[in-house]
Each structure stands twice: as C-alpha cells, then as structure tokens.
Amino acid sequence: MMADFPSRIVIHEEGPREGFQIAERPIATHDKVRLIEALATTGVKQIDCVSYVDPRRVPGMADADVVARSIQRREGVRYTGLWLNTKGLLRALTLPLDLVGAIRVSASETFSIKNTRRNLAETLAEQREMLRLYKEHSIGLEWGYVMTAFGCNYEGEVPVPQVIRMIEHIYALAESEGMALKGIYLADTVGHATPLTIARAVGEVRNRWPDIKLGVHLHDTRGTGMANAYEALRFGVENFDSSCGGLGGCPFAAHAGAAGNVCTEDLVYLCHSMGIETGVDLHAMIQCARMAEEILGRELPGKVYKALV
Amino acid sequence: MMADFPSRIVIHEEGPREGFQIAERPIATHDKVRLIEALATTGVKQIDCVSYVDPRRVPGMADADVVARSIQRREGVRYTGLWLNTKGLLRALTLPLDLVGAIRVSASETFSIKNTRRNLAETLAEQREMLRLYKEHSIGLEWGYVMTAFGCNYEGEVPVPQVIRMIEHIYALAESEGMALKGIYLADTVGHATPLTIARAVGEVRNRWPDIKLGVHLHDTRGTGMANAYEALRFGVENFDSSCGGLGGCPFAAHAGAAGNVCTEDLVYLCHSMGIETGVDLHAMIQCARMAEEILGRELPGKVYKALV
C-alpha cells in the first residue's frame, strides 16, 4: 500500500511512570516532580506520572501519592496515572491527578494471568466494574488498550484474529455500558513487534474499522522500536505513547528482556524530519532527557539527546 | 511506491574496526583477535578488522599490524582493513589481510577537507592514484562509496544532485582506468539520514541507474538507524554495513555526536522477522555482541543481545 502518513501526531509522554517504576535505585520524590514539571513545558499535552500499584510489588512507586500531590500543574496539560484494577482506581480517586478512563485487555491470556492474575473472562468482568465506577465518578472513557497485541514472551506471536476479537470485546463492553470510545491503542507491551507484525495488525484493524482512531504503545526491546513507529506512521497511526530518553528499561534486568518505550525525542526528531507535526519542542524535550539522565545517574537509550542536532 | 524488499542481504561486519578505533580505553590485542575470530563463525562473509591510519591520530589502531597478522583465518571469510589514502594502502600491502579495492569520495566537501584534508579535486586525484596501485598490485575494485551522502554536521542536508554527481565522478574514474565497479554504497557517515532522505537519495539513484547494486552504511546517531535500514530494505537495497552490538559509538565523545553503526544482530533480527535472509546465525551474533560488551567493559547500544529472543 501507499504510505498514509498523518500530518500530525499526538504523543502521550510515559517517561515518569515507565522510568520510575523500574528504577534500580531510589529516586528522590522532588526529582520525579522536577522532571514531570519540565516535561510539561515541552508541548506534550499528557504525561503519565505514576502508577497506582502495590508498593511491595513496585517499590519505585511507593511515593506515588506524594508525587501526585506535589506537581505544580500547567494549564492545558493532563497529568495521568495508571491503574490496572479497581483498587488502583479507588486510590486514584483520592488524588489530584487527571482521571482518564480506559479499557485494558491483553491479547495474550498467559500474559494477562501473569501480569494481573486474571484470565480473559475475569478481566472483562473487572473492566465492566471499572466502567461502572467511571460512570459513578463522572470519569470520561477514552481509549481501549489491547496489550501484547504483537506478541508476548509466553505465547510468542499473537495471531491478528485474536487482536480483532479483543477489540470486539472492548467495543461490546463500552456499548453495553452506553459509553463511547475515542479509539484503540495497540500495545507492544513486551517489545515483540516488528514492522511486519505492525503492518499486519494495524492493516487488519484498519480494514475492519476504517474510521477509528488508532494509537500504538511501543517498546524498543529488540531494536525495531523506531522502525515499528515508522511503519505505524506509514499506516496513518496518529497516537503514540513514548518515553523521554527512552526511559523504562532496567539495566540490571536487561537479560530478562525489559526495555524502555520508544524514545520521545527520537520519535519527535523522526516525525519532524518528515514534516509530521508533534506539537513538541525538540530542544525542550532533549533538555528533559538530559535531566532524566542526570536524575537516574546513567546513560539512557535515547540517541538524539546525545547527538548534535 | 510499493515495497521492493530483497529476498536476501549481504552484511559487511564493521564492528572491530568501528569499535576499536574509538575505544575509550586500551583493548588487548588478543581480545580484538578473539572477537574477529568469533565473528567469522557467525556466517558473515566479510569482516572489517582494522584501519591503516596514523596511530597518533587513532591510538586504538596502534596494534593494527599485529591484529592483522594474528587472526586465524576461516575459509570463505574475507578479513579487510580500511585505508583512506595511498599511504594506508601501501601499509596494507605488507599485511596478510584481504585487499578489497574501493573508491571513496565525500558528498560534503567540507567533511572531506576535515576528514582527509583534501578537497574534491584532490580526492579524485588521490583516488586515481589508488586505482593505479590496485592495478599494479592486482587488487580487485569493488564498491564506490559516497560518504556523507545524507548530510553532514558541517553542511547539514546534502542535496541529492550532489550525491548523483559524486556517483558520476566515481563511475567516470573507474571507466577512465578501465576498471569495473560492483556497485555503489551510500554512507551516512555521521548519522544524518532519516527515512525521508534515504528514500529521496536511494530513489533518485535507482531512477538514474536502475540496475546497479546498492549498499548503505548507516550510523544510529539520532535514533533513526533501524528505520533508515528498514526504508533502505523497502527500496530493495541488498548490501549493508553494520556493527556487532552497535559498536562504534564513544560514550565519552557522546555529545560530539559520535555513535555506532546500526547494530548487526538487530538488523539480522529485523530481516529474519520479514523473511529476508542474511546468512547470519542470529544466536552466534548475539554471543559476539556479549563478548564485545565484556571486552569493552560497558553496555553496547544493541538491543537484541540484551533481550530474550
């Protein structure tokens, strides 16, 4: 097919949540807040700041509530947090961050069981409960996320019909609760995607639902991250999750396969080189990556922030 | 245009030369030899081992002659070295590595002057002298290289007509000396390429010379390396230089813009994921990247060698 590049994309900045949840040493709360506030000056309109998870499982998020309460907010920027279950959502409700409703299912049931201890039926039941809480608390529903849409470490490649089925489940769930979705994000949760699997899955979703908005959440686990982003752009995908500096990988868990999101400033550089607008100031984002490097005390995977640009 | 993926590519492994010439600390000669010998077991058929340069300018290559003499050769593998002038070639003639003739010109004259202290006319004169030495010593001519074909730090983007002119110079030179070329390599010497500039330059070269073999030498300075490789594959490019582990970047010169070649095993992973043959055993190449990491004592930019595959 001919390339169908978008004229502009929308970036959700995932760096703080992705980076701090796996940090190999404690990061001072004020450093987390400092990075989030700097990111808010770059032009990104949504920053994922924390996750509402059990601090015994994710010690880096033990100060999530304090971080959430400390951010000096900037007009026009949404500061979000991630919840994976109703318990997390109930915690989010007590905090001053923006609440953005989502439906999250995993295309790989094995991954779902390992990650959230729920099979598909249990996940759908919990997501339904979540939708009811959204309505009860006037939280708008936005995106449906299909996690491990391009494969997982347990099941290997995930067949495209399984991704399609998950999207059907997401739409059926939203419809049965009388709620509208903004669109669908396909998430390469563990970095299994290649340009070929991007083309297959995105192509088939586009065939099936020609008009829905699409997003991708990509991890650069196997070096194909930017080629995957490029292929998604070629298919007209307009929404991207990415991480300042490529935050998210853990150097000490490297051989367990953890790697960061595609790098925000590298993605911005790529898009601008093709005349695709991002609304992000590249140089401001580079400054954030340098700040993140200084805070984490190690070189980050991003490239542009280390280069002359 | 429709993608024109090749069914197989040929990789020239650049890791030893790229990696050792910029190493931030001395690497033991036997470690260099050990890595070269391991690379020769992966299926790559050409390994660039050393450069014949002034050791005062490039201390990491001070033991190039010893390295060249120490390699236990494996049948069917070519072990090459890089010379940038006739002095380097005369030195190569005294050593047991394979001699592969090339014509090298830079599309950016400013880069040429900074890198080799020669303008275009002087470069062409020296390349002619080199061709005469090739004939005198029965060295086969293979590729013409256009360096900085996609831009340089001094001149910024390099206009495509300038690349075309350089290729005309290369062909005219070869023809006037009665020598045939295997094809043309476009080199992104300092990592300026983007998928768009790859498409423009490769597309125009293909229009002009539909039947010549093309290669690309890519550096991942700004995070677009693999997207650039992918775009080159889409245009049917069949020859790639790459570096085991992404060797070639210098962590201490990072802000001066130095970065390694695209990573061999990541490129192999990408190609195999699309059914493009490389002749390279991915797992053997991953072992080499791990060896290179151990030898250099630092994490390398490559991704696949750190992931579960």
**Which of A131-140, A150-159, A206-215, B212-221 comes out lowest in average pLDDT?**
A150-159
- Which residues have a Cβ under 8 Å from the Cβ of B168 and sit 6 or more positions away? none
- Which residues have a Cβ under 8 Å from the Cβ of B173 and sit 6 or more positions away? B103, B124, B127, B128, B131
Are β-strands B101-106 and B141-147 bridged in parallel, bridged antiparallel, or unpaired?
parallel
Residue B218: closest CA among B206, B228, B230: B228
Reported as a single tens digit per residue, the pLDDT across A199-258 is: 999 999 999 999 999 999 999 999 999 999 999 999 999 999 999 999 986 544 443 556
Label residue A119 left, alpha or beta by phi (over 0 means left) and psi (-120 to 50 means alpha): beta
Q: Helix (H, G, I), strand (E, B), or coil: what is residue A293?
A: helix
> CA A273 to CA B282: how far, in whole Å?
32
Please report residues of B whose CB lies closer than 8 A to that of A309.
222
> CA B200 to CA B151: how far, in whole Å?
12
Among A155, A226, A268, A304, pick the best mutation site for testing chain B contact (most B Cβ within 10 A): A226
Q: Model-level pTM?
A: 0.94
Structure tokens at B233: 């594959």
pLDDT in tens, chain B (309 residues): 568 999 999 999 999 999 888 777 789 999 999 999 999 999 999 999 999 998 888 889 999 999 999 999 999 999 999 998 899 999 999 999 999 999 999 998 888 888 778 899 999 999 999 999 999 999 999 999 999 999 988 888 899 999 999 999 999 999 999 999 999 999 998 889 999 999 999 999 999 999 999 999 999 999 999 999 999 999 999 999 999 999 986 544 444 556 889 999 999 999 999 999 999 999 999 999 999 999 999 889 999 999 865
Of A229, A273, A303, the CB nearest to B221: A303
Chain A residues with CB within 8 Å of chain B CB: 153, 191, 194-197, 220-227, 229-231, 251, 254-257, 259, 263, 265-267, 269-270, 273-274, 299, 301-304, 306-309
- Does B10-306 carry CATH code 3.20.20.70? yes
Shortest distance between the Cα of B155 and any Cα of chain A, in A, equals 13
Reported as a single tens digit per residue, the pLDDT across A89-127 is: 999 999 999 999 999 999 988 888 887 788 999 999 999
> CA B47 to CA B41: how far, in whole Å?
11
**Enzyme catalytic residues of B:** 250
Do B286 and B42 form a contact (C-beta atoms < 8 A)? no
CB pairs under 8 A between A and B: 115
Q: Choose from A16-25, A150-159, A174-183, B102-111 the range with maximum mean pLDDT.
A: A174-183
> CA B137 to CA A163: how far, in whole Å?
61
Please report residues of B whose CB lies closer than 8 A to that of A259.
303, 306-307
> CA A249 to CA A301: how far, in whole Å?
8
